[in-house]
Amino acid sequence: MKYHICELTATPEWLTIESIDYIVECLEACISSEMLADLRAIFPRQALRCASIQVKEAQRQNIVQWLDLLNNEENAA
């Protein structure tokens, strides 16, 4: 399956504390690889990276697994 990944450059507005905190909340609420794919389509990659650093360890491990799954699906498509 082909998932859309946001290609926007993270402008300074995306990298404010408030924006990063919001993205952290979204990542913490993420419950599946499909939901993570949706977040990747919405938020610029750099903003997601900045936010992922602040995600709790257990959720970060989930996100890594979901990213592996999404990347494997992309490569198989």
Please tell me the predicted confidence (pLDDT) of residue 1: 65
Domain range annotation of the chain:
17-76
DSSP string of 26-65, one letter each residue: HHHH--SHHHHHHHHHHS-HHHHHHHHTTS-HHHHHHHHH
Mean pLDDT by 10 residues, the chain (77 residues): 87 97 98 97 96 97 96 82
Model pTM? 0.91
Distances (CA, A) of 50 to 9, 25, 30, 72, 76: 13, 13, 16, 23, 28
